[in-house]
Amino acid sequence: MDASHPVALRPDEHFHQPRVVAPDSDTLRLGVRAVVFDWAGTVVDFGSRAPAMTFVETFSAQGVPVTEAEARAPMGLPKRDHIRTMGMMARVAEAWRDIHGSAFDEAAVDRLYEAFTPRQVMAVRAHADVIAGVVSVVDALRRRGIRIGSTTGYPRIVMAAITDLVASQGFAPDAMVCADDLPVTRPTPLGMWRCLIELGVWPAWSAVKVDDTVPGLLEGRDAGAWTVGILASGNAAGLTHAEWDALDDRGRQELRDRSSAALARARPDFTIDTVANLLPVIDQIGHRLWCGERPGG
C-alpha cells in the first residue's frame, strides 16, 4: 500500500451535505477527541479474509455451499445476525431446505453459530497481522491527545483470541465493544455510544468512526459521529495486501469505485484506501468543526 496515494475525500455532490451551525466555544475547544476503529479489514486482516472464508466453510460443512460474495454481503453485522441474514437469502434458503428438509430457522442459526465460533477463533489468529500504517497513525493520533476506541462484529470470545497478539504489534485501543457486549449493536448506534462512554468522550460529533462495512459505518453515522469508509483493505475489495499491491493504477481505481459503490448506502463523510491515509481526513474534520460543521446533514 502506497501511503502517499492521494486521499479519496468525499465529494459533497456524491454524499450528504454536512449540517452547518455557528462555531461555539465547545467546537473550538474540542476538535476531534476520539477515533473509533473497526477491526477486520480496517486495522487487521487486509481484505477481511478471516470472516468471509469462515462463513463459506461453515455453511459448506452443513451441505450448503455458498459463494464468497454471499458470505461477504452482510459483513459488519454481529456474526449471529450475519448467519441469519445469509440463511434468509433466497438461494441459500432454498438450498438449505433441499438438503435438510426444513426451512432455515433459529435452530439452524444456533447450529451454524456453534460450528462457526471455533472455526472463527482459528481463522482470526491466522489473519491477525496489523495493516500497514495503522500503528504509526494511531501513535500520531495519541500524540494529539485523541482517544482510540474500537467496535467489532466479532463476539468477545473471538476477540480474546487476538487482542494480545495484535497489541504485541502495536495496536491496543483504549476501549473495545464487541458484538455480544450489548443486546443489540450494529447497525444501531448503541455499540458506538457504549464505546464513547467508556472513552469518556462527548459530544458524538467530536468522534470519528472508521470502518469498511455498511453496518459499521451506519453505527457511527447514526451515533452522530463523522464516518470514514475504507476502500482498499476492506470487505468490499476483498483482496489480500499482495493482490492489492499487484494491481496497476487502473485496477486500483476500479476497485476503489467498486468499494465506494458498496459503501454508498451508509453515506460516509470521507473515503480512504486504508487507515494509513487517515491523518489528512482528521485535519479536514478538525477544520470543519472549527467552521461549525457537523456530520450527518
Cell 472549527 belongs to which residue?
290
Active site residue 79: yes
For 92-145, the pLDDT digits (tens) are 999 999 999 999 999 999 999 999 999 999 999 999 999 999 999 999 999 999
* Domain range 19-48+137-294, CATH architecture: 3-Layer(aba) Sandwich (3.40)
Cell of 89: 437469502
Cell of 272: 480512504
- At residue 29, the pLDDT reads 54
The residue from 2, 24, 26, 38 that is catalytic is: 38
d(CA 54, CA 56): 5
- At residue 296, the pLDDT reads 74
Q: Does pTM top 0.85 for this prediction?
A: yes
Cell 481463522 belongs to which residue?
123
Query: Please, where in the chain does CATH 1.10.150.240 lie?
Result: 50-126
Per the DSSP assignment, residues forming a β-bridge with 227 are: 209
Say if residues 199 and 10 touch (Cβ distance below 8 Å): no
Residue 183 φ then ψ, to 5° = -60, -35
d(CA 46, CA 185): 24
Cell 487487521 belongs to which residue?
44
- At residue 235, the pLDDT reads 97
Classified as helix, coil or strand, 106 is helix
d(CA 80, CA 68): 18
The residue from 45, 79, 209, 212 that is catalytic is: 79
Cell 434468509 belongs to which residue?
88
Per the DSSP assignment, residues forming a β-bridge with 37 are: 150, 210
d(CA 176, CA 199): 9
- At residue 12, the pLDDT reads 35
Distances (CA, A) of 59 to 104, 108, 231, 247: 12, 11, 27, 31
Identity of the amino acid at 126? A
- At residue 21, the pLDDT reads 44
Nearest Cα to Cα of residue 191 among 213, 216, 226: 216
Q: What CATH number was assigned to the domain covering residues 50-126?
A: 1.10.150.240
Say if residues 83 and 112 touch (Cβ distance below 8 Å): yes
The answer for 145, left when phi > 0, alpha when psi is -120 to 50, beta otherwise, is left
Report the relative pairing of strands 34-37 and 147-151 from DSSP bridges.
parallel
Q: Cis omega before residue 65 (within 30°)? A: no
Query: Please, where in the chain does CATH 3.40.50.1000 lie?
Result: 19-48+137-294
Tens-digit pLDDT string for the chain (297 aa)? 343 343 444 433 333 334 444 444 444 456 999 999 999 999 999 999 999 999 999 999 999 999 999 999 999 999 999 999 999 999 999 999 999 999 999 999 999 999 999 999 999 999 999 999 999 999 999 999 999 999 999 999 999 999 999 999 999 999 999 999 999 999 999 999 999 999 999 999 999 999 999 999 999 999 999 999 999 999 999 999 999 999 999 999 999 999 999 999 999 999 999 999 999 999 999 999 999 999 975
- At residue 30, the pLDDT reads 65
Cell of 214: 455498511
Q: What is the DSSP letter of 235?
A: T
d(CA 45, CA 26): 37
Say if residues 175 and 159 touch (Cβ distance below 8 Å): no
